Structure 1
């Protein structure tokens, strides 16, 4: 508890410092508090450059943060959250201490100079690095280290966005991928601590002020459902375009990596010159879209422009998050959808702003497949309960649409492209690369389905595992009969003449070519006697897998690895 509070306090202070850095660098590079709302204005610091300063701002910033990231913390490049997920899943929560400092400076420079990325990825990585550092100082074990990393991530989100609930669910749903009671309590404690510190510095106001919304008619739910499906597709498209442009940048770049942000910054500057609304995070533009100040054509232009601008910023080696761009895309899509619905159905369609709000959460859910986080953060933004049903329906449909279209999220796709599958066993696992067929035991003598329970009881009592397969007259597999099940039936009514086929059950099917980890997962919930392994046709047996066989494989693996070749 003390560590959770300490990590939350550190994340809260880190969020204050990070937002101050963004504000300072934005003012220095653009001469405005937020240039995305300034149109084609000149920088008052260098008025003689006119609007052309946006060509140089990303280049100058790239010259500063490019070498910084390359030399001290290469993992600070990009949007940050995948690196934290990987650290928790594969590295025991260990994150280099310098990541917090390098990520703060690099992301603030990138966003302040016009990088079209968000601040949630950096603050998650900053808070997580602080949590990992705290854990290393006190000598915490891996489980505690992972929990402290999640505490840091939750604290960073809570403080920088004034969204303590969203911080908790972001950490639990995306970082830990678990809602265990103890972990939940510690993450909540850290999030609350960071939120108190953040509110003391920024005030008790949401990071994005929106007008009040409500849905007045149940018939609008169908429109929100359609928006959810469309938003899910847009979220997937965003992730695909993001990595496609990153691949293009990787293919085109032939020079030192430290210079890539500066040279690529010239391309970003050209885009900002054409569409200054893409400068930085772009919350003022988002607010204007929600307020219905843009026409459909311009909303579509902003949607496409944000996809390209964010992807280009990441592709040239920039540092920043993709959560805020997802909200931006959702607001553009939702506003355009709302205007179209209003044109078709009139006043019955409801307010345009409500579609923008739902679109924000739905696009993020489609891209990240974090429906709980999406619902919670949208609710914290508005505090409007009347829209919760429409919001939940759209977000769930967006999540399902995203899952239908792709197996990866915008976060896990970055790791999979590096050959890392977080759903697979860790490479250090003694079961990695071992097939069930390599360790399974021979199939024990089977019981014909017509065998009486009395006869089966004698055979089962003498069997090694206390369970035997049951087969039909043609030899096909029907199920498994255990000594425990037969004893229970006989004890209830003494039906010794009943056939064993009536009490046999079919366990979880396993195949010989499956990973041994799959057998381990099935054995955890199975009886101690083991499980049958099906043949290629799926009708007969090829082997028998037991707890003892799995343990024997784990024992032999390190010995084999150390043997001379």
Structure 2
């Protein structure tokens, strides 16, 4: 809700960011992301100059290497910086900062709680599961997210606690926000009659996964430029003059794809523009996530492939693309399969998606052992979260 309120301050519209952008005159549409980037830069500069907040610690790193300790002050300032970027259209996900902030709050409360029977790192893991489930209304994916990515191992005894935390986060989200799949697909289709194209698509995206990661990290040199965040904002603003769906995390672009009425040229153009915008935002150090942008990229590649191959079930390939690219870049096939079905409502596809995800993930691991969540100590206040 804070993101929406800040968005209204800048653009007087609290709806989807691309729709808000479409109501602005071209000059204001181009400059708004720059203004947000300047505000985000001001927050970072002020903290580095006057605050004693230490370096930020990502929640995956905190759970695996630091007993769940996440400095709250530095996370808070990063979240504020992210809020300015996200509210003004940065092509990056708000969910990354939301989950990081939830994990930091869990760590702060847990460290001060008189109940010491549950280790702090486990408490942070539970908080992360709840945050993922709340952000995406995906309780099963929240459990697998923690097992495959945060803990990095299957600890079966943690399943009941993780399930309880994840369901709790999901229920709270349903009470506050609308219920139901975020990107529901209304078409009914079966993988049995279209399996011919889903297998090569999974193989293709297994190969593309490591390439996509390299692309996202290819502009990291831009973080050394003066006023680095501003360059990312300027890129988003200028690119949005062509398509307003460049603004934001790709939510509306993904919705449009999953409606199935997008022309090939339109999908390809938005895909190209968003790849450039997201890469520059990540490269310049914009604080946020690339989880939802990755969902869009996978769905766009799947739909493009379906149209090129004249498939009779283009939306099936879009859902497969969404799922398999996510599995390839995160090395978390169970999480990706459950996330795909919970986001789209296509629960009957879960067994087939899991098989395709295992294949895509295996191929990606053979090419590169590093996932999108490869652990590296971030520099203070200037590294994008990738949740």
Task: Say yes or no: TM over 0.5.
Answer: yes
Q: How far does the alpha carbon of each residue in 1:184-212 deviate from its partner, in whole angstroms, 9 at most, with x for none?
A: 22222221222221111113222223223
Measured after TM superposition, the shift of residue 98 of structure 1 is 2.2
- Counterpart of 1:445 in structure 2 is none
- Counterpart of 2:199 in structure 1 is 225
Measured after TM superposition, the shift of residue 234 of structure 1 is 2.8
Measured after TM superposition, the shift of residue 219 of structure 1 is 4.8
Q: Structure 1: which 5+ runs fail to align?
A: 1-19, 44-49, 77-81, 343-348, 419-565
Partners of 2:39 and 2:117 in 1: how far apart?
A: 35
Q: How far does the alpha carbon of each residue in 1:397-417 deviate from its partner, in whole angstroms, 9 at most, with x for none?
A: 2212211221211220x6289
- Counterpart of 2:305 in structure 1 is 337
Preserved contact between residue 223 and residue 285 of structure 2 (Cα < 8 Å) = no
Partners of 1:415 and 1:393 in 2: how far apart?
A: 30
Preserved contact between residue 163 and residue 380 of structure 1 (Cα < 8 Å) = yes
1:316 and 2:284 aligned: yes
How many residues align? The count is 373
Which of 55, 58, 62 aligns to 1:87? It is 62
Q: How far does the alpha carbon of each residue in 1:420-451 deviate from its partner, in whole angstroms, 9 at most, with x for none?
A: xxxxxxxxxxxxxxxxxxxxxxxxxxxxxxxx
Measured after TM superposition, the shift of residue 109 of structure 1 is 1.9
Which of 411, 415, 427 aligns to 2:376? It is 415
Shift in CA distance, 285/119, structure 1 to aligned 2, threshold 3 Å: same
Which of the two has higher C-alpha Rg? Answer: 1
1:194 and 2:155 aligned: no
- Counterpart of 1:56 in structure 2 is 31
1:185 and 2:160 aligned: yes
- Counterpart of 1:34 in structure 2 is 16
- Counterpart of 2:3 in structure 1 is 22
1:286 and 2:254 aligned: yes
1:145 and 2:120 aligned: yes
Preserved contact between residue 36 and residue 84 of structure 2 (Cα < 8 Å) = yes
Partners of 2:62 and 2:214 in 1: how far apart?
A: 24
Which of 343, 352, 364 aligns to 1:390? It is 352
Give the CA RMSD over aligned residues: 2.5
Which of 129, 139, 144 aligns to 2:104? It is 129
Structure whose residues are more often helix by fraction: 2
Partners of 1:261 and 1:140 in 2: how far apart?
A: 42
Preserved contact between residue 303 and residue 314 of structure 2 (Cα < 8 Å) = yes
Partners of 1:142 and 1:62 in 2: how far apart?
A: 43
Shift in CA distance, 89/200, structure 1 to aligned 2, threshold 3 Å: same
Alignment of 1:407-486 (within 5 A): 407-412=369-374, 415=376
Measured after TM superposition, the shift of residue 297 of structure 1 is 2.7
Measured after TM superposition, the shift of residue 144 of structure 1 is 0.9
1:365 and 2:327 aligned: yes
Measured after TM superposition, the shift of residue 99 of structure 1 is 4.3
Q: How far does the alpha carbon of each residue in 1:365-388 deviate from its partner, in whole angstroms, 9 at most, with x for none?
A: 111111010011112123334323
Shift in CA distance, 241/417, structure 1 to aligned 2, threshold 3 Å: farther
Partners of 1:356 and 1:119 in 2: how far apart?
A: 23
Alignment of 1:109-124 (within 5 A): 109-124=84-99
Shift in CA distance, 231/115, structure 1 to aligned 2, threshold 3 Å: same
Structure whose residues are more often strand by fraction: 1
Partners of 1:400 and 1:74 in 2: how far apart?
A: 38
Shift in CA distance, 230/277, structure 1 to aligned 2, threshold 3 Å: same
Which of 245, 248, 255 aligns to 1:277? It is 245
Partners of 2:74 and 2:181 in 1: how far apart?
A: 27
Partners of 1:145 and 1:225 in 2: how far apart?
A: 42
> TM-score, normalization: structure 2?
0.88
Preserved contact between residue 235 and residue 326 of structure 1 (Cα < 8 Å) = no
Partners of 2:194 and 2:162 in 1: how far apart?
A: 37
Q: How far does the alpha carbon of each residue in 1:496-519 deviate from its partner, in whole angstroms, 9 at most, with x for none?
A: xxxxxxxxxxxxxxxxxxxxxxxx
Partners of 1:196 and 1:203 in 2: how far apart?
A: 11
- Counterpart of 2:223 in structure 1 is 250
Shift in CA distance, 281/181, structure 1 to aligned 2, threshold 3 Å: same
Q: How far does the alpha carbon of each residue in 1:71-122 deviate from its partner, in whole angstroms, 9 at most, with x for none?
A: 156766xxxxx82211112211110122453343222221211111113321
Partners of 1:153 and 1:75 in 2: how far apart?
A: 20
Shift in CA distance, 198/42, structure 1 to aligned 2, threshold 3 Å: closer
Measured after TM superposition, the shift of residue 166 of structure 1 is 1.1
Shift in CA distance, 68/183, structure 1 to aligned 2, threshold 3 Å: farther
Partners of 1:120 and 1:34 in 2: how far apart?
A: 15
Measured after TM superposition, the shift of residue 225 of structure 1 is 0.9
Shift in CA distance, 146/132, structure 1 to aligned 2, threshold 3 Å: same
1:260 and 2:231 aligned: no
Alignment of 1:483-502 (within 5 A): none
Measured after TM superposition, the shift of residue 263 of structure 1 is 4.7
Measured after TM superposition, the shift of residue 140 of structure 1 is 6.9
Which of 161, 169, 173 aligns to 2:148? It is 173
Partners of 1:224 and 1:108 in 2: how far apart?
A: 38
Which structure exhibits the higher relative contact order, with contacts defined as CA atoms closer than 8 Å and separated by 6 or more residues? 2
SS in 1 for 2:238: helix
Measured after TM superposition, the shift of residue 315 of structure 1 is 1.7
Measured after TM superposition, the shift of residue 128 of structure 1 is 1.0
SS in 2 for 1:273: coil
Preserved contact between residue 369 and residue 399 of structure 1 (Cα < 8 Å) = yes
- Counterpart of 1:513 in structure 2 is none
